[in-house]
Copies of this chain bind each other. A is one copy, B any other.
Amino acid sequence: MAETTPDAAASDTPGQALTRQALTAAALRILERDGLAGLSMRKVAAEVGVKAASLYWHVRNKEELLDLLSDALVADAELPPREGSWRDQFLEYGRRHRALLLARRDAAKVVAGRLAPGPHILAVLEDQLDRLRAAGFSDADAAMASYLLSAYVQGFVLQEQSPLSAAEAAGATRGEAARAAGETFRTLPAETYPNLVALADDLTDPDMETRFEFGLQRLADGLAALLPA
């Protein structure tokens, strides 16, 4: 009957046939396997057992598929527990956001510069704003703080998730690549780059956890200064 049509209004009805959800899931699988550069419409089609042209019945563009993908990437986000100080909750938000992006291959590249707020993204944003306002931030500050956090996390993970050097893509571990990069800095001409030489180890420290945490703490400190006592 007519009421079974999975049409526009309830776009996320779980269909058993070929739905936008199924396409998104297939794209997610290919992203994990081949990376963003290896994600093509033809492969997505093959993954769902269909020819490439058929995808355009369900999706306007590859861009639209990527929009769906970017929302799906945050689909299984778990919100931090609503306890403790606003600061702890803020920090935890940043950590989980980073963890979410790191969990999927090339996730940062997919999300980067894609302002396509799907339902999952909206839900997270809504919750985040709610906590910031409850903490005492003004409306404008809450909005900006949320934007600030996501800009930092995306910028950070984007660099973190990209190969440190051409050598890394070819088998070398992160630690080895970092050591190689450190060597590069250390052997620079010391008269023109004294600081790079001196800080070679600090600059190429492969411990991304503490590096991320450093920035996160600075952000939280900076925001805390906006609140009254």
Partner-B contacts on A (CB < 8 A): 63, 108-109, 112-115, 122, 125-126, 129-130, 133, 139-145, 147-148, 150-156, 158-159, 161-166, 188, 192-196, 198-199, 202-203, 205, 211, 214-215, 217-223, 225-226
A145, A188, A196, A220 interface centre (most CB from chain B within 10 Å): A196
Pairwise interchain contact B122-A196, C-beta atoms closer than 8 A: yes
Q: Is the interface of A mostly helix, strand, loop or mixed?
A: helix
Chain B's nearest CB lies how many Å from the CB of A30? 20
Pairwise interchain contact B199-A139, C-beta atoms closer than 8 A: yes
Pairwise interchain contact A202-B139, C-beta atoms closer than 8 A: yes
| Partner among B152, B158, B194 whose Cβ is within 8 Å of the Cβ of A113 | B158
| Assembled-state Cα–Cα distance A129/B113 (Å) | 28
Chain B residues within 8 Å of A163, by CB: 115
| Assembled-state Cα–Cα distance A84/B217 (Å) | 26
Chain A to chain B: the 7 pairs with minimum beta-carbon distance, closest first: A155-B155, A218-B222, A113-B162, A143-B202, A222-B222, A221-B222, A151-B155
Chain B's nearest CB lies how many Å from the CB of A167? 12
Chain B's nearest CB lies how many Å from the CB of A205? 7
Chain B residues within 8 Å of A188, by CB: 122
| Assembled-state Cα–Cα distance A162/B4 (Å) | 38
Chain B's nearest CB lies how many Å from the CB of A208? 10
Chain B residues within 8 Å of A142, by CB: 199, 202
Q: Output the nearest chain B residue to A165 by Cβ-Cβ distance.
A: B115
| Assembled-state Cα–Cα distance A150/B155 (Å) | 8
Chain B residues within 8 Å of A220, by CB: 222
Pairwise interchain contact B195-A130, C-beta atoms closer than 8 A: yes
Pairwise interchain contact A151-B199, C-beta atoms closer than 8 A: no
